[in-house]
Chains A and B, each alone.
Chain A
């Protein structure tokens, strides 16, 4: 079993190395002009330079901060609203269709509205991230709350649990798998919207860094930014999935 895992790991490292090598080939043989596509060597140099001078580091942390704040805001609002809607059958029936209508709305489409209301401000970017991240959270929580085993509500009544105890001890933990899945989706959305928000509102961050680099034809800088975004997405998803398997450890323990 362990050998198999190592083999898989080796294989995926090999694929990654092959990808980098192919990228180097493309730039070495100038199949694509280096103005648009730098080699991995130059992208790496730009990345190291940006981090050692601190420029890129500051922008990176700014983007991560926005992503996390917006995401936490979305999660909190999503769980609270979702719990409210999900625990009442009537609320689900009334509000459900409206939610379904608003859910597929691309959050980037509300950016102009957000700019009109909040200006080109930090608040605007956070609001857009929170708005976009809210939907997966909200729907996941509503689903989780509506799928609580009815028998557990009877058990709660028989034990004489208070209303708040039922929410925090029964419904919320029972919805946790759905909620965590929603948080994972919402995190991806939050990263995308942080970058878009920075680009449109020119807040200092990886999004504006990438756009300015593109305008100045500094393709290595552009790629350095893209690499950092990739790393951010990967690491945050990994952290969350660790957290998830810790929270849901009761599931796999067979």
Chain B
């Protein structure tokens, strides 16, 4: 079951190579290595403080490693790139409250210097894609939490990202909204062919979404286990979650976390 990046070995788009990270005298990550294949959906789980969000920020170019290297298509990540989009957990803080839904998506186009011609139609298409069709004139505080997160995803899609980094994007949402968004993210990622890196504390969510699940442990943060998920696509909230493979993976990861905490 524990394999060494079988899928990623051929064609890694993102690579973390023996990375150490120390911030303010604290060792956050020690000797972390991981490869993410082109078009792969990788999930990261682990107890809080294990550095999973930090790993995402390294991949985003928001942090620089103290030692080791993070590379994107073979080149060092020295700063954030427009073709790598980040979905933050706190959608309430990541959206511009003074801009409408339409205006928030427009920000991505403005940043890219995209032509104004046809921009409005593109924005409406993106809003429709995330299920916010016709809501363009609303301000974020007029939208529910789930809708705000959809809006943030729409803004990320406006970047036409090759990689979608998601930091516990559904952590603050209720169970029903969360399941709906899981399926939508899966279909969007498959449709666009984007590579996805998804941080979560929810084991089942990780298995449900991922092609591969990386388990991390804290003090200092390190990669402790990597599990391939061989569940059929498209995934289904009922049948996938009842699949014996799903259950055995869940057991495996659950035991891993429990051992880590004891």
User: A166's closest neighbor in chain B, by CB?
Assistant: B111
**Is A215 interfacial (CB-CB < 8 Å)?**
no
Q: Would you call A161 and B139 a contact (CB within 8 A)?
A: no
From B82-90, B172-180, B185-193, the one touching the partner chain is: B82-90
**Is B145 interfacial (CB-CB < 8 Å)?**
no
Per the bound structure, the CA–CA distance linking A28 and B111 in Å amounts to 70
Q: Would you call A151 and B88 a contact (CB within 8 A)?
A: yes
Q: Would you call A250 and B98 a contact (CB within 8 A)?
A: yes
Q: Interface on chain A toward B: helix, strand, loop, or mixed SS? A: helix
Tell me the smallest distance from the CB of B30 to a CB of chain A, in Å. Answer: 24
Per the bound structure, the CA–CA distance linking A149 and B93 in Å amounts to 7
Contacts of A248 in B (CB 8 A): 98
Contacts of B88 in A (CB 8 A): 151, 154-155
Tell me the smallest distance from the CB of A182 to a CB of chain B, in Å. Answer: 17
Contacts of A101 in B (CB 8 A): none
Contacts of B85 in A (CB 8 A): 158
Tell me the smallest distance from the CB of A229 to a CB of chain B, in Å. Answer: 35
Q: Would you call B112 and A160 a contact (CB within 8 A)?
A: yes
Known contacts A154-B88, A159-B82: A165-B98 contact under CB 8 Å: no
Contact of A159 among B62, B100, B108 (CB under 8 A): B108
Q: Would you call B60 and A250 a contact (CB within 8 A)?
A: no
Interface string of A242-254 (1 = CB under 8 A from B): 0000001011011
Contact of A158 among B60, B90, B100 (CB under 8 A): B60
Per the bound structure, the CA–CA distance linking A161 and B111 in Å amounts to 5
Contact of B80 among A157, A251, A254 (CB under 8 A): A157
Contacts of A50 in B (CB 8 A): none
**Is B252 interfacial (CB-CB < 8 Å)?**
no
Contacts of A20 in B (CB 8 A): none
Per the bound structure, the CA–CA distance linking A173 and B99 in Å amounts to 9
Interface size on A, residues (CB 8 A): 23
The interface centre, meaning the residue of B80, B90, B100, B112 with most chain A CB atoms within 10 A of its CB, is B80
Interface string of B52-85 (1 = CB under 8 A from A): 0000000010100000000000000001111011
Q: Would you call A159 and B98 a contact (CB within 8 A)?
A: no
Q: Would you call A165 and B110 a contact (CB within 8 A)?
A: yes
The interface centre, meaning the residue of A165, A250, A253 with most chain B CB atoms within 10 A of its CB, is A250
**Is A174 interfacial (CB-CB < 8 Å)?**
yes
Per the bound structure, the CA–CA distance linking A156 and B110 in Å amounts to 11
Residues in A46-95 with C-beta less than 8 Å from chain B: none
**Is A176 interfacial (CB-CB < 8 Å)?**
yes
Contact of A152 among B60, B81, B93 (CB under 8 A): B93
Which residues on A are within 8 Å of B, measured CB to CB? 149, 151-152, 154-162, 165, 169-170, 173-174, 176, 248, 250-251, 253-254
A151-B94, A160-B82, A165-B111 are known; give 16 further A-B pairs, CB within 8 A: A151-B90, A154-B62, A155-B88, A157-B79, A158-B60, A158-B62, A159-B108, A160-B81, A161-B111, A165-B110, A173-B98, A250-B99, A250-B139, A251-B141, A253-B141, A254-B142
| 11 A-B contact pairs sorted by A residue (CB < 8 Å) | A154-B62, A155-B94, A159-B111, A160-B82, A161-B107, A161-B110, A165-B111, A169-B96, A250-B141, A254-B141, A254-B142
